[in-house]
Amino acid sequence: MADGPRVFEVLVPGYDSLDEVLALQEPVARLLCPDPSHTGPCEVPWSLGARTEEEQDDPVGTGHTVVAGLHATRAGAEEIAARIGAELGRTAHLVEADPGDHEELVEQYRARGRR
């Protein structure tokens, strides 16, 4: 399943406050889903969140972090990570994530297959 879809996180670290990270979620959401009124799940299941450095044993970067969860192929996730990084003007780090931490993405993926 090396080339099949799986769960990734796009991490964009280094923000000074949680408020700054939360303010960036809307532009990232529009990048991931330009038409929020479309029918059915998105082509690439996604979620948004925030992380603070203190929450992780081994953070990527420092400060508060924008976190985008994706269920995609590695190539698709890399392309989306590059777009998010360009949108935010920072380096976006792609890491494979535990599907148990993003069960909603797995469910979106299954629902997408049923349409």
Q: Map out the domains of the chain as residue ranges.
A: 6-113
Taking only the tens place, the pLDDT of each residue in 73-111 is 999 999 999 999 999 999 999 999 999 999 999 888 888
> CATH says 6-113 is which class?
alpha beta
**Under DSSP, is residue 17 helix (H, G, I), strand (E, B) or coil?**
coil
Let me know how many helices (H) and strands (E) the chain has, helices first.
Answer: 4, 4
The structure's pTM equals 0.87
Give the integer Cα–Cα distance in Å for 11 and 60.
7
Tens of pLDDT, residue by residue over 12-41, are 998 989 999 999 999 999 999 999 888 878
Compute the distance between CA of residue 18 and CA of residue 65 in angstroms, rounded to an integer: 8
